[in-house]
């Protein structure tokens, strides 16, 4: 397994930020999943894209495929994902991604997840117990204050020490409270679906 060493957490550490595109209520079909390759929180080095099924069960497989076929994988040191579900409730098994790629991961959320609400929503979907077990097994949730705002965001580190994950989140949050790899992935994913980027950045 690849491990992020303290000395590797430099201003230009290679980070892949992943976010999904928006969709309208009642939509059924594929949703774009965008990866933005960043050096720290300042330089965009590349973009990768795949698609996942709305409320499906393929997010883990698609993300692993996207990573393993990328020429950037060897230089990446950490994966950042915007939450643990994509395209509605297509749940990402972040531990499986770490096992298959060796890439440590940090799940980032603007708000602390309300687990009771998530469990209730999952009950409307097939294989809801399987999805719920993946979410529960992800990682412990920690608050982290970035350099831009007083209000914390939240992270779940997998395959990386808490203090190292905090350092990476802070150094990459250069434009807002959200790390730049995730902010840019969101902008690109939104533009793919709607023709231009908008929404919270």
- Residues 105-136: tens digit of each pLDDT: 999 999 998 999 999 999 999 999 999 999 99
Q: Which of 2-16, 63-77, 146-160 has the lowest mean pLDDT?
A: 2-16
pTM of the model: 0.92
128-136 vs 115-122: helix crossing angle, rounded to 10: 160
By the 8 A CB rule, do 141 and 94 touch? no
pLDDT confidence of residue 7:
45
pLDDT confidence of residue 70:
95
CATH numbers and ranges of domains, the chain: 12-20+28-191 (3.30.2170.10)
Distance CA(37)–CA(16), nearest Å, equals 5
Largest Cα span, the chain: 47
For residue 64, give every residue at least 6 positions away whose Cβ sits within 8 Å of its Cβ, in sequence order, or none.
Answer: 96, 97, 100, 101
Q: What is the pLDDT of residues 62-83, one digit of tens each?
A: 999 999 999 999 999 999 999 9
pLDDT confidence of residue 148:
58
By the 8 A CB rule, do 17 and 179 touch? yes
């Amino acid at each position: 397994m690849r491990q992020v060493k303290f000395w590797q957490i430099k201003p230009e550490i290679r980070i892949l930020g992943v976010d999904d595109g928006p969709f309208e209520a009642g939509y059924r079909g594929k949703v774009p999943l965008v990866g933005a390759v960043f050096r720290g929180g300042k330089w965009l080095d590349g973009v990768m894209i795949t698609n996942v099924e709305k409320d499906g069960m393929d997010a883990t497989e698609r993300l692993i495929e996207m990573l393993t076929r990328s020429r950037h994988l060897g230089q990446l040191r950490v994966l950042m994902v915007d939450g643990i579900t994509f395209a509605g409730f297509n749940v990402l098994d972040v531990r499986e991604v770490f096992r298959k790629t060796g890439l440590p991961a940090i799940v980032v959320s603007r708000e602390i997840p309300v687990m009771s609400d998530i469990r209730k929503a999952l009950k409307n979907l097939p294989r809801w117990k399987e999805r719920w077990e993946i979410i529960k097994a992800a990682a412990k949730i920690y608050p982290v204050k970035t350099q831009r705002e007083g209000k914390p965001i939240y992270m779940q580190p997998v395959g990386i020490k808490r203090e190292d994950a905090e350092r990476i989140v802070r150094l990459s949050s250069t434009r807002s409270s959200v790390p730049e790899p995730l902010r840019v992935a969101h902008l690109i994913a939104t533009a793919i679906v709607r023709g231009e980027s908008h929404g919270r950045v």
